[in-house]
Every structure is written in structure tokens, then in C-alpha cells.
Structure 1
Amino acid sequence: MKNILLAVCGLSPQVITETLFALHQTSRTVDAIHIITTQLGKERILTTLLEPGSGKYFQYLHEYEREIRSIDFGPPTIHTLCDDRGREIPDIRDEADNERLLNLCLDLTFRFTKDPDTAVFFSVAGGRKTMSSCLALAAQMYGRSQDRLFHVLVSPEFENHPDFFFPPKVSRLLELRDEKGNPYLKETRYAEVTLVHLPFVSIRERLGEKYLKKPFDPATLMMSLVREDQVRLVVHLVQKKVIFRGLELDMMPARLALYAFFVLLKKECIRENPGCLRCTDCYLGLDEILTHHQKRIADLYRKLAGSRPLEEMSDSGILKLDADNFNMYKSRIRQDLLRGFGLYALKDIDIASVGKRPNTRYGIPLDKEKIEWVY
């Protein structure tokens, strides 16, 4: 069985050697180390851990070389977050970066858990909280019985100390700081590095075969587990959320106003058509929306905006739609729905389009009998 350490890391690469040490203390061997990090995190790993001759990782190997085997760890096993153009991201700054992080965690977890002869040790000790959360979520999606989720606890006085990477066999003095910032000396033999096993519930065994052929987003995986006799879409204006097959999604008021408008069009369609899913009679062209329905969309937005004074609301954007910001809102609504309900839900509940420009019309595909409106 090949053991793979899959860890997240920020600007404190000490967590990698501390995790190695903690695993070693519990007689767990590691055959390969894969790290998920940012550009700045990668640079810190290369200069502090993997610098030839002086890297702390090599010092760790030297001290424990008689007790551990060779480990596959180097630049090729450092996985750096990249933007849509392939440029490495220096830090996780917004929701888009966080989504890229989650996708990377899912992709690597899917890849390493696909081989039955591997065991994956997920380490959530490093990086931002969002990094550990994403890796833990990936473990819950694809983890198996032989995989483990770990955290590492280090004595507070030694944690994040720039010169502490693991307890060396020969203890040495480090200058520490007390709560008031006063310096004092303490031997590294007093440092405690503890491996904490975190139980987690995996949904892998409940996933259908097609969901184990390639990685999917969490919303799609969770949606695949929902078993309902009837699929329902609920737009809840009071709670400012969209509910589909039991999953809930909060949406920004401007986007929800436009989405609610299209849902209302479908719900209010007077045509009796048993094949509503394939009918597009309630779909509208952009010119008609901008010319005849702007006020209704604006009224929905004002209702969602609550007690905010009208004079404080922008007279552009959702209150004054044009072709450009309509497409922008439509794109962001799609991203919201994808994030909340997964790829396979889009065919039913996304704002779909039919026809070629300039005769394109827009609407919701889902059967109106499966739509509920709460206001």
C-alpha cells in the first residue's frame, strides 16, 4: 500500500515537516508528498524546505534517514493555484480563487483515491482556513476507508517559530517570547508535536458509477444523492433564496430579481401544455425584456432590497438593464446555480436561450408545475 500525504500549505512550510514527524511518531510511513499552495507558498517551500544542502526537509531526512524510506517530494509534487490564464496565484483573495482551490483539491483527491493500492493522508494543518476547509470537503466527497484526515498540534510557544520545523534528535535552545513579548530560552526537547485524527463521513460509496469516472463539483455530487419523487424549484423572496431538490442557495438581490422574473414568466404561462419542459412559448427576446419588463424587474429588486431608501439605490445596473449588464447578470446567475446545485441541474433551472441572434429568446426550461413561488 502506497501512502500519499496530501496537504495544504500557506506561508508556514513548517507544517509539512511537523506533519511528517507526527506521522513518523505513530509509525506511519509516507511514500509521496503532494502540497496544495499558492505562488508565495511555493516560493517559501522551495527556499526553506527544498533548498539543496540547507533545506529543512533534507535536514529532517538526515536526522531520521535510518528510520524512514525515500519519499517522493520536490517541485513536481507542489501543486500551485493558477488563474484562468495559467498564471500562478500569489494568494487566495476572492470567491473565484476559492473556487479554483476547491477544484484543485477535488481533482487531486479524485486522482489519488482512484488507485485502490493507495492510502491518502489528508493534512489540514496548514494554510488559510479556507484551504483546510476545501481539502476536508474533498476528503468527504472521495475519501475511502483506508484514507485518513489529520491535523497537527504543536506546543504554542514553538508553533510558527521561524527556526522550529521538527523536534531534532539532539535538543537545542531556541529564543522564544512570552505573552508580554519578553525573550526567553527553551529547549526543543520540550516541544510537543501531536497528530490528531479527525473522523469524517465520506459519500463516495453512495455515488453512482458515472460520478467516479471523473471529478465533479460538490453540488453535483450532493445533488446525485437526493432522491425525490418530484423535482421542485422554489424561489423564496422573503428569505432571498432559491431551493432546488432540497438544497438551498442564497443569491444577491440584483441577481435574484432577474432570476425571479424569468421564473415568474414560466409560472404565469397560461398555455396548457403537457410538454412544458420542451415548450418555449414563455421565452422572451432581449428587446422585449428591456422595453416592456424593466419596471417589473426593478420592482422585484426593490422588494428584495428591503428597507434601503430608493434614493440610495443605483439608477444603473439591475434598475436600468441594457444588453451588456443583462448578459453579465445572466452569467453570474449561472455561476450561482452551478455553485449551489451542480452542473446537471443547469439543464432544468438555468436561464436558457433559444434561437440565433438577433432573435434569441430567454426563459426557464423547468416545467411550471414543478415551480413554487413564495413572496
Structure 2
Amino acid sequence: MSGVGSRRVLLVVTGLSPQVVTETICALAVGHAGQPPWIPTEVHLITTTRGADNARLQLLHPVSGWFHRLRQDYGLPPIQFDESSIHLIERPDGTALDDIRDDDDNRLAADTITEWVRRLTQDPDSAVHASIAGGRKTMGFFLGYAMSLYGRAQDRLSHVLVSSPYESSPEFFYPTPQSQVIRRPGSANEVLDAAQARIWLGDIPFVRLRTALPRDMRERAHIAFAESVRAVQASVAPSLVLDRRQRLVLAGGVAIRLEPADLAFLAWALQRHLEGRPLQRHRRLNQAEARADAQEYLAQYARLGDDPADTDTRTHARLAKDRGLLMGFFDERRSRIKRAFTAALGEGRAQPYLLQRTGPRGGSEYRFSLDPSAITLR
């Protein structure tokens, strides 16, 4: 029966030591520290060409592969893991990396890892368990960060730990249920029994920021790691720049263009926010507060034009007819600004930039949740 977790995915990054795959599967499937078994239905491995060669020969070889031996030793059900499950870190021209040596290689690794995390967490029926134990340290960091960016409530992050001296033995792949003699690391004559090894799975709590990402970034393929980080940063630490000369708003670095009447309303509302004066909706004609608000708004509107003395506009005519800035004009501007910000940023990410109503109906005030220090009016 399908449902959340019916597809259980183990995602691992590795370098030249693929043992982390079998060690993690063993810890998950056999159980650890009183935890119930969690048997993956599929395994995905992200690595370089050298790491892929080691994984194929040491894990997936049809005769001596340790992945097949693990399943047989512990009677595990079928787990989808073959050469198609090994994903290489590639350059833009399609050539694969044999190692990670410089900043460009690190960027490619980050983008590849992020894309696979995004892809695997897109399926609502999947539960992803990611292990950061293998590969270079930067690979583990990128995997943990990608899980923070895209991970959901059902997803987990861990690091497998192996007792000494087994953790440094190239011949150790998991604690065997029967005695298995392997060489002691650094010694030509001493041996160890793999059955005596102990493994632990250290669960790593992580902050889930998925809802801070715009929906299109969660669904669109090949989003760069740096682009995802910038999007979340803009969401958790929003900033807004209103440039009157350019007639442009930058919300978290995203450019949004508004019609002059809407831009002037936003400038007026932000200026009031900086002064600690919330906005109100006025219902009655010729009310003193409505007339005062209209004059403040028109002063902002004039600053957008080439000729501040030019008052022959539909906006001026409408406010003059209403003898003030009334709720119809207020609601229209607020609604149009909301649509523009939501279209550019997504509903969740747009919220800090939108006027929010506070207080009871009838005496309601409107204000921003943005910290004034995050607002720049040019």
C-alpha cells in the first residue's frame, strides 16, 4: 500500500571507501540502540569516477560484492541498488570528476548533491535517509545543507560510527553475523573478527527550511546550490529596497516592477512604517485623516514623475473626487502589490513584504512585519 515512507531511500556520498554504504544499511536494517529496523527499498550513491569504480567492484561485484553478501547474511529483502544507482559528479560538458580538488569541483559537487536531494524529496511517498559519513568533508557538508534546504518531516540525516580499530580497516564492511577474519589495520600478521565489531548510527537533527523556498525552486530541476541558499537567506532575513529613480523594488534581491500608483503607495506605506505610524482604511468622504493621507500619498506619487508639478493624472483626479484616500483606493493598491510580490516570490516568501492587518475590525491598523533596519528607500 502506498503512502508516506512506502519508498524508503538511502542517499549516501562516498569517496574511495564505499564501506559506509553497507555499514549504514546494516545499522538501519538490523536496528541500533533499540531503534526499530528501517530497511531501504533503494540506495543512491553520489561519488566521483574513482569512487564509482570502488563501489562497483567492492559492493556490487556479482561474486564478491559486499552489498550482496550483507543481504544474504541478514536475510534482507530486495533493495534496488545497481550501477544505475551510482550518480557521478559531472562538469557542464558531461565529463565526470575523478576527484574533488578545487572550488569549481566543490561547486559541481554541491549542485549535484542538491539536485539529487531535491529530486528524491519531491516524491510525497518517499522518506529519505541521508548519510554524511562518506566522501570528502565538503561532500558531507553539502549533503547536510541540501537536506536542510529540501528535507521534510519524514526525512533523516545520520553519520555511521564504527568501533576501533575496525573503522580504519579497508577489509571491514559491516559486523558479520558469523565469524569473519580480516587483517588488523597497519599490521601484516594480526587479524580481527568482523563479527566483534560494533556500529552506531548517530542521528543528526537539522533545521528544515523547505517551506522558505519558492515552490518553483522545489519543483524545477537543476537548481544550483548557491541559488537555493540565496533564496532561503532572502526568506529568513528579508530585505527591501525601493528605488524611486529606477521605479523598482528589490525584495530579497528579487526585482519587482510596480505601476507608479502602486509604487507610490508602497513608498508611502514604508515611510509610515519607518516613522512608526501604521496605516488605516478610511470609509467616510472628506474625513480629515483621509485628506491628510491623500496628501502624503500624492507627495510620494509626485516624486516618481519627471515634473512634480504635473497633477493632471487619473490618480489625482480620483483622490480629489473622493476628497481623501478612502478604503476603495487603499484596498486596490494593497491587492495589486500583493499580487505582484506573490507572483515574484511565492506566497510564503512574500509575506514579510505585505501589509498585515492588526487589531479588531473597524479599528484595524495595517503595518509591515519587516524590521525597519531591513528597509531602504532611495
Provide TM-score, normalisation by structure 2: 0.59
Name the counterpart of 1:213.
219
Q: 1:145 to 1:52 in 2, by over 3 A?
A: same
**1:168-194 Cα distance to aligned partner (Å, 9 max, x none):** 11123333147xx68533322321111
Aligned with residue 22 of structure 2, among 8, 17, 30: 17
Deviation at 1:119, TM superposition (A): 0.1
Q: C-alpha distance in 2, partners of 1:49/1:173?
A: 18
Contact residue 50 and residue 56 of structure 1 kept, 8 A = yes
Q: C-alpha distance in 2, partners of 1:87/1:125?
A: 26
Aligned-partner residue type, residue 15 of structure 1: V
Name the counterpart of 1:7.
12
Contact residue 7 and residue 34 of structure 1 kept, 8 A = yes
**1:55-78 Cα distance to aligned partner (Å, 9 max, x none):** 11111121122xx22111011110
Q: C-alpha distance in 2, partners of 1:109/1:162?
A: 28
Aligned with residue 114 of structure 2, among 106, 118, 123: 106
Aligned with residue 188 of structure 1, among 190, 194, 202: 194
The answer as to 2:70 corresponding to 1:60 is: yes
The answer as to 2:236 corresponding to 1:228 is: no
Q: C-alpha distance in 2, partners of 1:182/1:55?
A: 24
Q: C-alpha distance in 1, partners of 2:122/2:12?
A: 18
Note the residue ranges of structure 1 that are not aligned, 5 or more in a row.
Answer: 233-243, 247-272, 277-343, 345-368
Aligned-partner residue type, residue 184 of structure 1: E
Matched position secondary structure for 1:6: strand
Contact residue 49 and residue 57 of structure 1 kept, 8 A = yes
Matched position secondary structure for 2:190: strand
Note the residue ranges of structure 2 that are not aligned, 5 or more in a row.
Answer: 1-5, 32-36, 244-250, 254-302, 307-344, 346-375
Contact residue 169 and residue 185 of structure 2 kept, 8 A = no
Percent of aligned positions that are identical:
33
Contact residue 177 and residue 183 of structure 1 kept, 8 A = no
- 1:153-164 matches, cutoff 5 A: 153-164=161-172
**1:219-260 Cα distance to aligned partner (Å, 9 max, x none):** 33224403234379xxxxxxxxxxx969xxxxxxxxxxxxxx
Q: C-alpha distance in 2, partners of 1:121/1:198?
A: 11
Q: C-alpha distance in 1, partners of 2:150/2:125?
A: 15
Q: 1:207 to 1:85 in 2, by over 3 A?
A: closer
Contact residue 106 and residue 138 of structure 2 kept, 8 A = yes
Provide TM-score, normalisation by structure 1: 0.59
Matched position secondary structure for 1:159: helix
Q: Comparing 145-154 with 198-207, which one deviates more in the overlay?
A: 198-207
**1:49-97 Cα distance to aligned partner (Å, 9 max, x none):** 11111111111121122xx221110111100011121111100011111
Q: Which has the larger radius of gyration?
A: 2
**1:280-302 Cα distance to aligned partner (Å, 9 max, x none):** xxxxxxxxxxxxxxxxxxxxxxx
